[in-house]
């Protein structure tokens, strides 16, 4: 039913990602679909990488490690952004289209008061993406 599953990844907070990856892995096995890990980075140096290129390398290494651990195909795609605090959702939605993903599995924190004003990332992606979105809490 699904051709490609996209999982947005925050390399700075890998600890919050385990459940989303586990969910995506199960679905990927079930549908025989590859997983594409998508990371969005600022172009300025970040806590993860000095440059967007270094970020892309790290994401690739993370995908390779996941491939080896799960015995599944994990692709990696890094997207630089001018202002990730604001542009993250739009960048992820565009990435899903560009990567040809038809399912997005993404982690989310528990919604609180701010979500009434600013949509959470997972919420915004779910509202605006053309494809199915699986929000993992």
For residue 92, which of 119, 111, 67 has the smallest C-alpha distance? 119
Among 1, 71, 110, 112, binds another protein (CB under 8 A): 112
User: What is the spatial distance between Cα 55 and Cα 76, in angstroms, rounded to a whole number?
Assistant: 11
Contact track, another protein, 63-102, x by CB under 8 A: -------------------xxxxxxx--------------
Name every residue whose Cβ is closer than 8 Å to that of residue 68 and which is 6 or more positions away in sequence: none
In sequence order, what are the residues at sequence separation of 6 or more whose Cβ sits closer than 8 angstroms to the Cβ of residue 58?
A: 11, 48, 49
x/- track of binding to another protein for residues 29-58 (CB under 8 A): -------------xxxxxx--xxxxx----
Position 119 contacts another protein (CB under 8 A) = no
- Residues touching another protein: how many (CB under 8 A)? 23
Distance CA 57, CA 78 (A): 9
Tell me how far, at minimum, the Cβ of 94 lies from another protein, in Å.
13
Shortest CB 120 distance to another protein, Å: 11
Asked if 118 touches another protein (CB under 8 A), the answer is yes
Any contact of residue 26 with another protein (CB under 8 A)?
Answer: no
Residues 27, 9, 103, 112, CA torsion sign: positive
Cβ atoms within 10 A of the Cβ of 137, count?
10
Interface ranges with another protein (CB under 8 A): 12, 42-47, 50-54, 82-88, 112-114, 118
């Amino acid at each position: 039913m699904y051709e490609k599953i996209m999982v947005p990844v925050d390399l700075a907070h890998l600890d919050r990602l385990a459940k989303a990856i586990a969910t995506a892995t199960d679905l990927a096995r079930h549908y025989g679909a590859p997983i594409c890990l998508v990371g969005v980075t600022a172009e300025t140096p970040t806590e993860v990488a000095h440059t967007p290129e270094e970020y892309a390398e790290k994401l690739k290494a993370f995908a390779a490690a996941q491939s080896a651990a799960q015995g599944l195909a994990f692709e990696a795609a890094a997207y630089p952004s001018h202002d990730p605090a604001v542009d993250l959702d739009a960048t992820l939605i565009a990435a899903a289209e560009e990567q040809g993903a038809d399912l997005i599995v993404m982690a989310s924190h528990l919604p609180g008061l701010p979500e009434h004003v600013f949509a959470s990332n997972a919420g915004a992606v779910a509202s605006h993406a053309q494809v199915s979105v699986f929000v993992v809490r």
